[in-house]
Amino acid sequence: MERISVDFSASRGPVKPLHAVNNSPVRITNNQTRGNLPAYAAAGFPYARNHDASFSCEHIVDVHAIFPNFDADETDPASYDFILTDDNVSAAYEAGAEVFYRLGAKIEHARKKYNVHPPKDFAKWARICEHIIRHYTEGWADGFRYKMTYWEIWNEPDIEPCWTGTPEQFMDLYVLTLRHLMGCFPHLKIGGPALSHNREFAAALLDRLKAENLYPGFFSWHFYGKRAETLVEYARFFRGLLDEKGFTKTESLCTEWNLVYAWSGENFVKGIEDIISMKGAAFDAACMLACDAEPVDMLMYYDARATVWNGLFDYYTMCPLPGYHSLAFFNHLFRLGQSVSLSVEGANVYAAAAKDENGKSAVMLAVYAHEADFTEKEIELTLTGGADAYEVTLLDKDHTAEIIGTWHPGEPLCLNNLSVVLLKSL
| pLDDT computed for residue 366 by the predictor | 98
pLDDT average, residue stretch 338-348: 96
Q: What is the pLDDT of residues 101-142, one digit of tens each?
A: 999 999 999 999 999 999 999 999 999 999 999 999 999 999
Nearest Cα residue to 69 out of 121, 143, 130, 140: 121
Confidence of residue 336 (pLDDT cuts 50, 70, 90): very high
**Beta strand pairing call for 349-355 and 361-367:** antiparallel
State the Cα–Cα distance between residues 285 and 346, nearest whole angstrom: 17
Q: Which residues of 280-309 are buried (b: 16+ CB within 10 A; e: fewer)?
A: bbbbbbbbbbbbbbbebbbbbbbbbbbeeb
| pLDDT computed for residue 1 by the predictor | 86
| pLDDT computed for residue 374 by the predictor | 84
| pLDDT computed for residue 375 by the predictor | 87
Q: Answer for the pair 5, 343: CB distance below 8 angstroms, yes or no.
A: yes
Q: Is the pLDDT of residue 332 over 80?
A: yes
Q: What is the pLDDT of residues 206-240, one digit of tens each?
A: 999 999 999 999 999 999 999 999 999 999 999 99
Phi, psi for 178 (deg, rounded to 5): -60, -45
State the Cα–Cα distance between residues 112 and 133, nearest whole angstrom: 30
Q: What is the pLDDT of residues 85-96, one digit of tens each?
A: 999 999 999 999
Q: What is the pLDDT of residues 263-313, one digit of tens each?
A: 998 999 999 999 999 999 999 999 999 999 999 999 999 999 999 999 999
**Beta strand pairing call for 189-195 and 150-153:** parallel
Q: Is the pLDDT of residue 29 over 90?
A: no
pLDDT average, residue stretch 164-169: 98
Q: Answer for the pair 178, 214: CB distance below 8 angstroms, yes or no.
A: yes
Catalogue all structural domains in the chain, each as residue range(s) with its CATH number: 16-337 (3.20.20.80), 339-425 (2.60.40.1180)
